[in-house]
Structure 1
Amino acid sequence: MTNKIVVHTTCGSEADARRIARHLVELRLAACVAITPGVLSTYHWKGAIEEDQECALTIKTRRDLFAALAAELRKVHPYEVPELVALPIVDGSPAYLDWMDAELQPPVELP
């Protein structure tokens, strides 16, 4: 098990996705954000079933940065309740994992 995670969110436009991605990378809360446009989402919202085209964002970061990343994402995300799901990176290419560390903020001590 590594200390790396992938955080998933979606948003309603490519412009919002690009803005969020750039913001998180500039703050070094994300080493990389991959944007996948054209995702069709079906969900319950305020008593109705909705279906929308969205962009999926795959955010690569470390576990110790999750709280700061989540707080920042909530500030800049246009949704009332943005998706915010973190999944562990169990293993990976050592070179890629080292690159992630080099691109992220220094480690934060977890409580």
Structure 2
Amino acid sequence: MATKAILLKCLLCDDITVGPCLRDRHYSHKRKVPATRLNPVVNASPTWEDDVKDRDALILLYTTLASAEEAKALAHALIGKRLAACANISAPMTAIYEWEGEVREEAEVAMLLKSRAALQEDLLAEARRLHPYETPALIVLEAAAADAAFCDWIVQQTAADSGGS
């Protein structure tokens, strides 16, 4: 089950953040504000409570693959099964890692899939099953907030009976 992000309100400037105040003018108090000066905020915006209660929480699945072609194939499979609404595939980047006792440097692409928390287990299982890597990076990130219309679209695209749009 997804956990709800806790937003904090800085009592020195009334900014709402997911951590200490980040305003430039408050740089000096970022490290000096005791935890008691940061209060949890239940409704950070008029739609915050609605977004949490009425919409399935938005999740992002981050993974890397050896090529854009591999990423596209995985994205098409997961979107085709309605486990994700869309995917963004990055330009090639360099990955440096140790594998089997050897430091390696190879080209990879990153992919970010957008889905719902209710589909997280199925999305991870299918991504793991289809991923060409022996030990894939499959990292789920929960969105602290998102545009309501975008959340609606994610829900629509990942519904079992969706006709797409």
Q: What is the match of residue 87 of structure 1?
A: 141
Q: Which has the higher strand share?
A: 1
Match of 2:110 among 43, 53, 56: 56
The question of 1:71 aligning with 2:125 is answered: yes
Highest CA radius of gyration, 1 or 2? 2
The question of 1:13 aligning with 2:67 is answered: yes
- Alignment partners' CA distance in 1, 2:112 and 2:74: 11
Q: Amino acid of the residue matched to residue 28 of structure 1?
A: R
- Alignment partners' CA distance in 1, 2:150 and 2:65: 27
Q: Which ranges in structure 1 are unaligned for 5 or more consecutive residues?
A: 107-111
Paired residue total: 106
Q: CA-to-partner distance for each residue in 1:12-46, whole Å, 9 max, x for gaps?
A: 01111110000010001001111112121111111
TM-score normalised to structure 1 length: 0.90
- Alignment partners' CA distance in 1, 2:158 and 2:59: 12
The question of 1:97 aligning with 2:140 is answered: no
Runs of 4+ in structure 1 deviating by more than 6 angstroms, as ranges, are none
- Alignment partners' CA distance in 2, 1:96 and 1:104: 12
2:67–2:92 Cα contact (<8 Å) kept = no
TM-score normalised to structure 2 length: 0.61
For residues 19-38 of structure 1, the aligned pairs below 5 Å read 19-38=73-92
- Alignment partners' CA distance in 2, 1:30 and 1:68: 10
- Alignment partners' CA distance in 2, 1:10 and 1:37: 11
- Alignment partners' CA distance in 1, 2:101 and 2:74: 28
Q: Amino acid of the residue matched to residue 136 of structure 2?
A: P
**RMSD (Å), alpha carbons:** 1.2
Alpha-carbon distance, 1:105 to partner: 3.1
Q: CA-to-partner distance for each residue in 1:49-107, whole Å, 9 max, x for gaps?
A: 1111111110101112111111111121110001100111010111111110110135x
Sequence identity percentage: 34
